[in-house]
Chains A and B, each alone.
Chain A
């Protein structure tokens, strides 16, 4: 029995697993997902990239467009404007978020839950909202314009302020996670080794934060670099890539230059995304779920300092939100500060009236419904289907790409791809369908990862047991996987709804007169100097997002109560 036997005698037949109907169906589903990603992502990006190296007549011209672009004297200015703004905003955001996260986890100041909730509120807003609120606060007629010491809000100052507000919760969440994973026993070990407070901070706290901070750096940088809402409202005559792209395409119909700017917008964002992704991947390998949560000791001085800092930040966030609400209620700012609801009477301010808001609800509803089903089932196929290895690997990679795609670039690529007369799918151009499609693709990655994480936690043997009991995978999916994953599905749906309500980037290029959504309406109202109605529409968007989040919370509570018996302790 120990005689060496040649492993695989050549004449033997390799075993092939006979495919069943179920396998065929699963593979067809996987192919359908692949088709969706090819049509919604790969082909549009390919079209955009090829447009960048073509002239207006579609002839290949190599990098000539890029040469032309960089020969425009204004151009390098715009590119470096974007870079400077992004780095500055990122550094400020990270500093504030770092201290804020430290205060939340490493102090015993009162109101930690409140501060945490307030910090996450900017997630509910479209990025146009901080711009509008800042105009009320620090604009040429603003209440606190003197605070800028004669400098104009419109330009770098306004953009940085708005971006810090907008990206603060993103940075905070990442840093907070890295702080929460510090094991209490590390602090206990440091104490028993007689390390002082300062030394403990530098040897335990800061190294743990460093990963979070660097990951947050790249996330925030990407967000600011590609953001459109803040610079379009308070950018003034200070051009950045996103607004430059908007003007080239919408103002100048220069699609070749548009493609070039789009590619320029995409590359740094993609690089930042890749580095951030690699960082987090390396990090997550080092975390085991068994960390004992650190409970800080009482320290009066530290707690007071932390409280003062958090209160100031929370005040700023609430101030901006409240300013938007107030702005929407002024009769005629800055002349008549009496309060009325006239700004909410959208029919008076805009031809589409409430239509834009209704369109937003349609878009958000459609995205939540269609996107949740697609993303969750897609993640199920990629995570738990047997076989089809290479195809699952390719699709898994494609599912990550949208995170690196700035929304504006995606929107632009959709123009190129779908507005082509030879495209049989061109019929969806200008309809709600293309808005939903672009939004699902734009938002794909985060819920996809959420679903993957949840599905990974389920026992890998569930389907195998089902199959051994001669129960189809689809039945096991419906009777077990789906009910168990309901909280995740709810979370995904709420994420998609909320983000479809507040997104604008991809949509600026894709909406038509009939499909104008609320965020576009805010943009146009602001363009027409109707600040009050613009504020009113923004507030409506925030209120809707907040409503959906509350609804999700309520449903979740009910769900967990009803299924608590089998879920055990789970949040």
Chain B
């Protein structure tokens, strides 16, 4: 009997030279963590470049906070490595890592003044007392709290507290800033204002920043790149434009912004039939999309009005309900041929005497270039 000796299993070692490529600020590979039988993170691979602002986005329980806490060393992963600027920090205790952190609750020291909070991390830094004082003043001026140095956290508004926490985290000039839902405890108005401030500050300082959020608007507005997570895995990594306009999965499509899902069957390389209607879609021949699929289109991309006969994907519809949303009307229309309701963002631009009223008939068109097709995922049922 002949034993065939096979080469050792495992990924082939790449031969490409990495000396010329810049070392990423954070290189996460094979990261996994479970709590009991619950898998919180599964085989996370991610690289973050120096100076980047990255958002971890996902619904609660998706593992985004667990990933952040693993990076901080607060909940160390079971498996996998984290390299910070090439240094392996996988098993280092919290205080041996290089980061500043802002929690959702801010965790300000209630018995210390604003200056005391900001200067807390400078005590063992080897700076002299005047140097520390100058640094604290500099930071407070930076976050616009120069006049509040002597106050206590309880005497500040939520937004001010958030900025104190930020200044405190930045005081020792960490190489990495971690933000755990830093804006979600604030009122809507303050949140928008601080969001822009945070972005500006991060640009000015150039500090690599990771922010955890469940708010897609926030992530879209603030991030250089968004890491969309679900059930402990990364669904997609990309710029806000990429993840919004080219979602990689049906989940990403549904999580970032509103989306209509139309179940159908791929019958040809550019045809999907749903109900008694056949949709023209972009060529899918490169994708593995046989059988059941979901056809997606954003409410703002559906056109309403009069169309010429050669307009593809024209559907008769009937208005079910109308609700006013300020800049537009949200229409819910019923399409008998696909036996389904669709949501439409309708901006009235004087479409030749169009009557929009509940119960009124309507013609809509779904431009093929705005249609995205995903295999119907058993784990994710779009609503």
Contact = CB atoms under 8 A, between A and B. Distances in A.
Interface in A476-523: 479-480, 483-484
B103 interface: yes
A470 B43 contact: no
A519 to B, nearest CB: 39
Interface in B206-265: 233-236, 248-249
Interface string A460-480: 111011111111100000011
A386 B95 CA distance: 13
A471 B107 contact: no
Contact of A8 (B10, B32, B111, B377): B32
Interface in B99-126: 99-101, 103, 105-113, 120-121, 123-124
Contacts of A203: none
A565 to B, nearest CB: 5
A84 B112 CA distance: 56
A299 interface: no
Interface in A528-565: 563, 565
Interface stretch (A15-23, A164-172, A345-353, A444-452): A15-23
B340 to A, nearest CB: 25
Contact of A469 (B103, B121, B154, B236): B121
B42 interface: yes
Interface stretch (B59-67, B85-93, B191-199, B293-301): B85-93
Contact of B153 (A20, A470, A566): A566
Given A1-B236, A2-B235, A7-B32, A471 B124 contact: yes
Interface residues of B, number: 57
Interface in B121-176: 121, 123-124, 152-155, 168-169, 171-172, 174
Given A565-B155, A566-B110, A566-B152, A466 B105 contact: no
B100 A469 contact: yes
B93 A19 contact: yes
B110 A15 contact: no
Given A484-B111, A565-B155, A465 B235 contact: no
Nearest to A6: B43
Contacts of A567: 110, 154
Given A12-B79, A464-B101, A17 B39 contact: no
Contacts of A237: none
Interface in B7-24: 10
A147 interface: no
Contact of B111 (A13, A468, A483): A483
Interface in B73-89: 73-74, 76-81
B5 interface: no
B34 A7 contact: yes
B100 A8 contact: no
A431 B91 CA distance: 49
Contacts of A9: 79
B103 A465 contact: yes
Contact of A16 (B32, B91, B94, B152): B91
Contact of A459 (B105, B111, B121): B105
A472 B112 CA distance: 17
Interface string A60-77: 000000000000000000
B30 interface: yes
A461 B124 contact: no
Nearest to A459: B107
Nearest to B155: A565
Contacts of B205: none
A568 interface: yes
A469 B110 contact: no
A563 B154 CA distance: 11
A480 B73 CA distance: 22
- 9 A-B pairs closest in CB distance: A469-B121, A461-B107, A566-B152, A467-B94, A568-B154, A461-B103, A459-B107, A467-B95, A5-B43
23 contacts: A2-B249, A14-B78, A15-B79, A16-B91, A17-B91, A18-B91, A20-B93, A22-B95, A462-B107, A464-B72, A464-B94, A464-B107, A468-B95, A469-B121, A470-B172, A471-B120, A471-B121, A484-B111, A566-B112, A566-B113, A566-B153, A566-B155, A568-B154
